[in-house]
Amino acid sequence: MFKTAWTTINKAQNIVLMSHINPDCDTLGCSLALYSILQKEGKNVFLFNATENLPKKLRFMPYFSEIHSYLPSEFDTVIVCDCANFDRTGLNIEAIKKRARIINIDHHLTNSNFGDINLVISPNSSASMVVYEMLKQNGVKLTSQAASCLYTGTIDDTGFFAYGAMNASTFSDMGELVSLGADPAFISRQLKQSVPLARFRLKEYAARSFDLLRNGMVGLLFIWQQDLKRTGAKREDTEDIINLIRDIVSVEMAVMILEEEDGSFKISLRSKNYLDVSKIALKFGGGGHFGAAGFESSITHAKDIAEMILNEFDKGMREYGTQK
């Protein structure tokens, strides 16, 4: 499948690289790495993301400024990176299929295989590592920019190797990326030591506002639009907040329910040892990894969402108890 995907990409002339809405390092790591390589190979390449206000903290990634929120007039191939479902791109799949072939590159168990070619390797630590394996299998020489992007995507998607499908080859691959030009210290500083004051204030709010439930095994946090306005934080500033709750010694599952501007909710789930939160997310139309997952909901009352998640937590822990 690695050969088939790369052969198809090589035959294409006008390529759009798509990442998911509200992008993270992994989806952009894939897109930007491929952009770096395909440009050098003489392809007409275009970076697309439907989110108009991209996360500022990712501006250090190579070619970040080349990402556009509109499509070019002509394209024959679309490469979708790190999207379990095509609607995560913010576009209509039927409209795109009328114009182009779709190559789907991902690592999620929940991927719907929506592409004409589906390069979905699961379990895998990140979509960035799927891209790296494709490039290695086809003897493609990486640029230092591509190595940096793929390293960034993987380090972030695994929570700095705290969760995700990792094994010895993951660390071997990361070492190879460093030898090709990725700078671990620089990337770590950008991701971990460039915290805006507003995000710091939001963390302070979170530390005061979460609830412990189920005998301290569940940490639950609601973040409302008014909380963002009061602290001056942006949506992107909520990303790492859930980890504060997960890190409490008694907590097995952390839940963050974020109110979106349109009144819907984004739900983030984290687990530590026993619970597969990707199964919970999948039941509500989302997905993710064993220890990190999420979904979106248009249910009116956030407390109703929390209750449903708690019910799934109870089921999951009962299942774990019977399997021990």
SS3 32: helix
Question: Which residue, 163, 192, 221, sits at the end of a domain?
Answer: 192
Q: Is the pLDDT of residue 322 over 70?
A: no
Question: Which residue, 157, 192, 227, sits at the end of a domain?
Answer: 192
pLDDT-based confidence at residue 109 (cuts at 50, 70, 90): confident
Kindly state whether residues 174 and 250 are assigned to the same domain. no
Residue 119 structural domain: 2-192
Kindly state whether residues 181 and 201 are assigned to the same domain. no
Kindly state whether residues 57 and 167 are assigned to the same domain. yes
Question: Which residue, 149, 166, 192, sits at the end of a domain?
Answer: 192
Nearest-5° Cα angle at 70, 67 to 74? 100
pTM value > 0.75? yes
The residues, ordered by sequence, that sit 6+ positions from 308 with a Cβ below 8 Å of its Cβ are 284
Kindly state whether residues 33 and 174 are assigned to the same domain. yes
What does the mean pLDDT of the chain come to?
92
* Domain count within the chain: 2
Q: What pLDDT is attached to residue 292?
A: 86
Q: Is the pLDDT of residue 107 over 60?
A: yes
Q: Produce one character per residue of 250-280: b if its CB has 16 or more CB atoms within 10 Å, e if not.
A: ebbbbbbbbbeeeeebbbbbbbbebbbbbbb
Q: Is the pLDDT of residue 323 over 70?
A: no
Kindly state whether residues 249 and 216 are assigned to the same domain. yes
Q: What pLDDT is attached to residue 196?
A: 85
Kindly state whether residues 28 and 58 are assigned to the same domain. yes
Asked if 236 and 56 count as a contact pair (C-beta separation under 8 A), the reply is: yes
Q: pLDDT, tens digit, for every residue of 119-141? A: 999 888 899 999 999 999 999 99
Kindly state whether residues 137 and 228 are assigned to the same domain. no
Q: pLDDT, tens digit, for every residue of 157-179? A: 888 988 777 889 899 999 999 99
Kindly state whether residues 131 and 276 are assigned to the same domain. no
Kindly state whether residues 20 and 113 are assigned to the same domain. yes
Q: pLDDT, tens digit, for every residue of 142-153? A: 999 999 999 999
CATH of residue 223's domain is 3.10.310.30
Asked if 231 and 245 count as a contact pair (C-beta separation under 8 A), the reply is: no
Kindly state whether residues 75 and 210 are assigned to the same domain. no
Q: Is the pLDDT of residue 324 over 60?
A: no
Kindly state whether residues 285 and 304 are assigned to the same domain. yes
Kindly state whether residues 279 and 148 are assigned to the same domain. no
Token pair 């002509």: residue: 74
CATH of residue 96's domain is 3.90.1640.10
